[in-house]
Amino acid sequence: MWPGLMMAVLATGVYSSTDVVRLDVRRTGHAYAGFGANIWPGDLAVARAIEDLGMTWVRLWAGCPENPPGPDGTREEFDAYWRGHPGADALRQTARMISRYKLKTVLCVGSPPSSWLGPGYVLKAEYHSAFARLWGSAVLAHREAGIRPTYVELYNEPDGFWGIHVSPSDNAALIRKVRAELDARGFRDVGICGPGTAHADWGDAGDPYINAMDSYTVQALSAWSNHAWEWNPGRIHAEEGHAYLRTAWPSVRNAILRKDPGSKRPIIITEFATKAHAFHGTQYTDQGAGQSDECASDTASYAARVVTNAIHLVNGGANALIVWEGADQSWSNHEWGLMTRPERGSKPRPVYRALAAVFPLIPVGSKALRVEGDPVCAIAGFARGDRIVVVAANGTSAARDVRVTVAGVGTLKRPTIRTFGGATCAVSGSSITLHLPRDAVIAVAATAVPAP
């Protein structure tokens, strides 16, 4: 390298290992509405995670019984169908847990009965009206079991071909049909969130399921939902993979803003974690490729990536985050859970501990602060009253320092610090200095004292 070029590179800070960030409590954004996990009826082991991680949300997978009524089935027939659900006892147990922790619930049936699906898991057109009646009866049955859903998500990932597939135009029509059915049955307080697509990275065109919604469909929605999965393995397995969602997810956010320019509806990430299973040049067993006694989700690198993704999503406008998933299930062929499956002892994974360092410190109702600067680490700030919270995650392969200046306050007092992976912190005046080893996470909450 030419000496002059070397000096220029040093001057621009390319080799700097320090991020410099400014947060201004006078420049607040959207409200943080809470954190939660996907759970399954009857799995009460997740109560530990609900407590330790300060959860306020769950997304509950109900699952449809087989032998449903036909396309002309009446409301009474669908009510009887749900009341005969073989998992009713497990559902009531989960209802008591949800009530005990006062959790907001997103109810999802995953996929409709298999007999309603054609090739490619496409929901047959002759069952569209029946699908709306199925949902009206599902809400009634869950209320009778003790669960009053805040929202329903009509199905799992309509853009996929692995459980159900619904076209963007059919999805819009079904949202309107289900809204009308819920209203007719007196469930106006139950919102619909959608579209719940599986992609966070649609590109400049945005999510086609959002694009296909007319004003009547948008009016039928109470909240936006997305499953913020990354579908570019080359990018997320590269050394810069930790930054992928920072640039990819705005494709969803921008599509939402085109339909809802006043941001009247909250954005709920009803599934997120990471598909990555290679970090810092090391390949691990894919957590989505089958049961395993050791895989990527058992590593600190995976934990740091999940927290990093959460930070990018909040900074990108998401109000609530629901991680995939609370705990591995004995019948499942995946290893995504915050806790291992019962056969492995239902043990907390590193991602459990990383998330526990962050979310209990962020008050629900906090306003997200704009991050001024261009940090390599993922950094977020929150403010509610005199409480300031700063969160950082280092998904790079080397240690990094972060200097955060909080503008609009005099001093920061009585800091509470929680860490994962050996991160450290020093608070002085209105500044916070963080040191984050590779794959470390830290959250700092402090009381802001006004300037004299």
Q: State the pLDDT confidence band at 16, using cuts at 50, 70 and 90.
A: low
* Beta strand ranges found along 118-190 (DSSP E): 151-153
Shared domain for 174 and 245, answered yes or no, is: yes
Q: Tell me what the mean pLDDT of segment 105-128 comes to.
A: 95
DSSP assignments along 2-62, one per residue = -HHHHHHHHHHTTT--EEEEEEETTSEEEEP-EEEEEE-TT-GGGHHHHHHTT--EEEEE-
Write down the pLDDT at residue 86: 80
Domain shared by 271 and 215, yes or no? yes
pLDDT of residue 97 exceeding 90: yes
Q: Is the peptide bond before 119 cis (omega within 30 degrees of 0)?
A: no
User: 174-199: buried (b, 16+ CB within 10 Å) or exposed (e) per residue?
Assistant: bbbbbbebbeebebeebbbbbbbbbb
Averaged pLDDT of the chain: 94
Do 270 and 406 lie in one domain? The reply is no
Integer Cα distance of 55 and 50 in angstroms = 5
User: What's the CATH number where 428 sits?
Assistant: 2.60.40.1180
**Whether residue 388 sits in one domain with residue 338:** no
Query: Do 330 and 382 fall within a single domain?
Result: no
Cβ neighbours for 116, distance < 8 A, ≥ 6 positions apart: 68, 123, 124, 127, 130, 131
DSSP, residue by residue, 345-383: TSPBPHHHHHHHTTGGGS-TTPEEEP-BS--SSEEEEEE
Q: What is the mean pLDDT of residues 130-137?
A: 98
274 with 309, same domain: the answer is yes
Half-sphere exposure of residue 381: CA atoms within 13 angstroms, side-chain side: 25
- Region 239-264: what's the mean pLDDT? 96
Q: For the chain, give the percent of residues with pLDDT over 70.
A: 96
Structural domain containing residue 84: 33-361
- Give the C-alpha separation, 264 to 210, whole Å: 15
What was the pLDDT predicted at 8?
33
Contact predicate 230/245, CB 8 Å: yes
CATH of the domain at 220: 3.20.20.80
The pLDDT of residue 11 is above 70: no
On whether both 234 and 383 belong to a single domain, the answer is: no
Same domain, 147 and 21: no
Predicted local confidence at residue 292, as pLDDT = 86
Instruction: Output the six-digit token pair for 208.
Output: 């086609």
Last residue of a domain, one of 361, 382, 416: 361
Give the count of domains, the chain: 2
Count CB-CB contacts under 10 A for residue 344: 18
Which residue in 197, 189, 187 sits closest to 224, CA to CA? Answer: 197
Give the residue from 361, 391, 426 where a domain finishes. Answer: 361
